A and B are shown apart, each in its own frame.
Chain A
Amino acid sequence: MQFGIFTVGDVTTDPTNGRTPSEHERIKAMVTIARKAEEVGLDVFATGEHHNPPFVPSSPTTMLGYIAARTDRLILSTSTTLITTNDPVKIAEDFAMLQHLADGRVDLMMGRGNTGPVYPWFGKDIRQGIPLAVENYALLHKLWREDTVDWAGKFRTPLQSFTSTPRPLDGVPPFVWHGSIRSPEIAEQAAYYGDGFFANNIFWPKEHFKKLVGLYRERYAYYGHGSPDQAIVGLGGQVFMRKNSQDAVREFRPYFDNAPVYGHGPSLEEFTDQTPLTVGSPQEVIDKTLTFRESFGDYQRQLFLMDHAGLPLRTVLEQLDLLGEEVVPVLRREFAKGRPAHVPDGPTHRSLLAARDTQEVQA
């Protein structure tokens, strides 16, 4: 099982002192956070993609390429890559290039974004969100698997005898996750291709995501990729920890109360009760995260949101120390217990390469 962090890349004023980091500071902080993730033994760093303030990560492969050069083991991923508004040809090229530079430590998560206006910024029709996601990904999938592509679709100019370069490393395309907050169509799309499905699992109660993951697992089996419990599931999570539970609550409350997404709404206590957010001791984080398996079955990837709502970099780095030292080792141990042998681990370039070679030997 893989553990990591995902970041939205928001520039948010620290509500405890009114200080707002500059874009430059925030971008550099994201890099520091990614490197810290590797240092404390996490497996994955994923960045969002946004094209409007107060978010900075508009160019994920630039950032991930830089991080790739400063890390050795960390898998670099996205949360999410906009499959609706990016040209699939450019996604194919950018991520294949990144894959080579990072020696295969790359995967990506497809998403439709959360900002309607982004569609016209890239010349796309907002009313076509789902069809764009479907067509663009179908093309991307093809570009990574066929050396010469002839293609015609609804939303972009046709391709004739087109080869996207560089070809994927070792002929193995980056693994793709499909992220969704609400759309069953996306769970269906992930199942169809036998790709991974990532449930954001942050903002809403888990019952909602249980339905989506359940649908994905069922359809994964329907399309013949394996049994439902072999489907590749990733989950989000959101935590704030201190040694003592009360200290965590006291310190995080002002950030929670003013958080851009849910601030000025329910109390911290109500929200932690109703959603997967955990604010407390490392043990409480462990306990809550272990319940995810009861809800969603054995899964492959757990990402935590750690750097948001204006938390200062120093605090985020302390959080990552706690996560890497006290939480994740226990989670690795506990999640391994009773995990059936036929349930796959989180996908890596090596595992995909091995699977490909096995298939070729069999064929």
Chain B
Amino acid sequence: MTTRLVVITAGLGRPSSTRLLADRLTAATQRYVTDGNVDNAGGGGVGVGEVGGDIGGDVEVRVVELRDLASDIAQNMVTGFPGPRLRDAVDAVTSADGLIAVTPVFTGSYSGLFKSFFDVIDKDALTGIPVLIAATGGTARHSLVLEHAMRPLFSYLRAVVLPTAVYAATEDWGAAGDDALALRIDRAAAELAGQVTARSVRRPAAAEETFIPFDRQLAALTPKG
């Protein structure tokens, strides 16, 4: 079974440390899904359940760079509908088996571009999708952005936000001999892999146009008694 993993990264630089973190989370998740177990995980055992030995499979990764969609997102805000490129990215995100969402910290929160992307997605479209949240910043002082901004955002969207969120400050990239970031990446990836492989039953795609038969609409208005 092929697992569709979609990675949303809101980094603006080229190269971008946000993208770098996204790539490391992706690679680790891919490894766990493909191998089909988490027993040899670096962070193994820490809050991670058995994934099971025989459910490995292919992983199809799609990376959505929000920088490339910046003007499409702004246009959707104005017109109320996504252009073809944005629609394609939104479709990928809303039909994914699992998401990795990574933002840089700007002015004390997720970036405006990151938030705007989720603002133009239907609020019910992410229901039940496992999401690994991650962020990058200049200093570790902003790491609670994950808990105070990212997690509530995805809770509102009724996504399944994984317990481990990963924050990478500038210093994390350079700390020699300190593998704390690697361990967090590993633990978070194992959690995501566990969730996506456990999702054997896909939630039915939310009917785009739900309607109520008219007699029921009328009946609901008929005074009782």
A residues whose Cβ falls under 8 Å from a Cβ of B: 130-131, 134-135, 138, 152-154, 184-185, 187-189, 191-192, 203-205, 208, 211-212, 215, 262-266, 270-271, 274
Contacts and interface: CB of A to CB of B under 8 A. Distances in A.
Contacts of B79: 203-204, 262, 265-266, 271
Given A185-B217, A192-B215, 19 more contacts: A131-B217, A134-B214, A134-B217, A184-B210, A185-B212, A188-B212, A188-B213, A188-B217, A189-B214, A189-B217, A203-B79, A204-B81, A205-B81, A212-B209, A262-B78, A262-B79, A265-B74, A266-B78, A270-B75
Majority SS at the chain A contact face: helix
Kindly name the residue among A191, A192, A211 whose own CB sees the greatest number of chain B CB atoms within 10 A: A192
Interface of B: 74-75, 77-81, 83-84, 208-215, 217-218, 220-221, 223
B81 A215 contact: no
A341 to B, nearest CB: 30
Contacts of A270: 75, 83
Contact of B214 (A192, A266, A274): A192
Contacts of A203: 79-81
A188 B211 contact: yes
B205 to A, nearest CB: 14
Given A192-B214, A265-B75, A204 B80 contact: yes
18 contacts: A131-B221, A134-B217, A138-B221, A153-B221, A154-B221, A184-B209, A185-B211, A185-B212, A188-B211, A188-B213, A203-B81, A204-B80, A208-B81, A262-B79, A265-B79, A266-B79, A266-B83, A274-B84
Main secondary structure of the interface of B (DSSP, over half): loop
A54 to B, nearest CB: 18
Contact of A135 (B77, B78, B221): B221
A266 B223 contact: no
A191 B81 CA distance: 26
B209 A211 contact: yes
Contacts of B84: 274
A137 to B, nearest CB: 10
A270 B76 CA distance: 12
Given A262-B79, A271-B79, A134 B209 contact: no
Nearest to A192: B214
Contacts of B215: 192
B68 to A, nearest CB: 16
A183 B83 CA distance: 21
Nearest to A222: B213
Contacts of B78: 262-266
A211 B214 contact: no
B202 to A, nearest CB: 22
Contacts of A154: 221, 223
A208 B81 CA distance: 10
Nearest to B213: A188
A248 B211 CA distance: 41
A215 B213 CA distance: 12
B75 A215 contact: no
A138 B81 contact: no
Given A134-B221, A265-B74, A266-B75, A274 B209 contact: no
Contacts of B74: 265
Of B81, B215, B223, the most chain A CB neighbours within 10 A belong to B81
Nearest to B84: A274
Contacts of A184: 209-211
A271 B212 CA distance: 33
Contacts of A131: 217, 220-221
A278 B60 CA distance: 39
Interface centre among A184, A187, A204, A271 (most CB of B within 10 A): A184
